[in-house]
């Protein structure tokens, strides 16, 4: 029964994160009761699970609302309460870290995000967020390692690649930035956006032929994209 409940919780967490917490909380109440009733679970355990879910997602919702009202400290406080109620859900740590950063508590944000990574070490969002936090805190080696962890988890995620590329650009390390894009294109060779990114980096270094080749390849993969045509004409 425990494995069945664990799988249900995992699926429910994913559904709540995608489709909204208010609907998710109601779904949690009905489905947890149904599942545990079918499995013959003790009522006390059911009550505890329901309380944990409702407290966590109510606190999460209050955190988001407080943030939208510009109440950063209150948002961070509610985000922490959400984690306390459900310490096994990675994205709650992500929210907590983000709210702490907005409240100006950078060191605490990094600690919260790392706690989230202990729960969900393969989370791309957590790795990327902690990388950005380390960079903001001036810990460049730790930031670089966090970006590499994110890329190792999702080597085909262009958004993560772009974040790491701009990190290297900010550190005046264009060669490392271009190497990342080249590695990405080995994994996803038919991504026009990846070729555009490579073309942009090459052109900024006045490496005109590789830039032209990259924009030409992007145009081949996605015909009719005006920016590729303009870039290719300019570089030719």
Position with higher pLDDT, 71 vs 228: 71
Q: Count the Cβ atoms, other than its own, within 10 Å of residue 26.
A: 11
Q: What is the pLDDT of residues 55-85, one digit of tens each?
A: 888 899 999 999 999 999 999 999 999 999 9
Minimum mean pLDDT range among 30-39, 110-119, 209-218:
30-39
Has residue 98 got a pLDDT over 70?
yes
Q: Count the Cβ atoms, other than its own, within 10 Å of residue 160.
A: 22
Q: What is the pLDDT of residues 196-205, one digit of tens each?
A: 999 999 998 9
Has residue 24 got a pLDDT over 60?
no
Cα 229 to Cα 174: distance, rounded to the nearest angstrom: 24
- The whole model's pTM is what? 0.70
């Amino acid at each position: 029964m425990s494995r069945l409940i664990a799988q249900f919780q995992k699926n429910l967490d994913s559904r709540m994160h995608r489709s909204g917490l208010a609907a998710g909380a109601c779904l949690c109440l009905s489905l947890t009761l149904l599942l545990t009733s079918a499995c013959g679970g003790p009522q006390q355990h059911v009550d505890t699970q329901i309380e944990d879910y409702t407290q966590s997602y109510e606190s999460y919702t209050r955190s988001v609302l407080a943030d939208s009202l510009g109440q950063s400290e209150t948002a961070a406080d509610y985000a922490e309460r959400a984690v306390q109620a459900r310490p096994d859900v990675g994205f709650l740590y992500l929210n907590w870290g983000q709210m702490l950063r907005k409240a100006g508590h950078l060191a605490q944000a990094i600690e919260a995000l790392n706690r989230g990574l202990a729960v969900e070490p393969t989370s791309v969002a957590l790795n990327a967020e902690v990388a950005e936090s380390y960079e903001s805190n001036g810990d460049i080696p730790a930031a670089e390692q966090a970006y590499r962890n994110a890329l190792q988890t999702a080597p085909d995620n262009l958004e993560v690649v772009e974040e790491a590329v701009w990190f290297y650009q900010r550190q005046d390390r264009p060669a490392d930035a271009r190497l990342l894009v080249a590695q990405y294109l080995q994994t996803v060779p038919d991504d026009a956006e990846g070729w555009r990114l490579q073309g942009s980096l090459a052109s900024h270094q006045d490496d005109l032929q590789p830039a032209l080749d990259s924009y030409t390849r992007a145009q081949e993969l996605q015909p009719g994209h005006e920016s590729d045509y303009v870039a290719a004409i300019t570089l030719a």
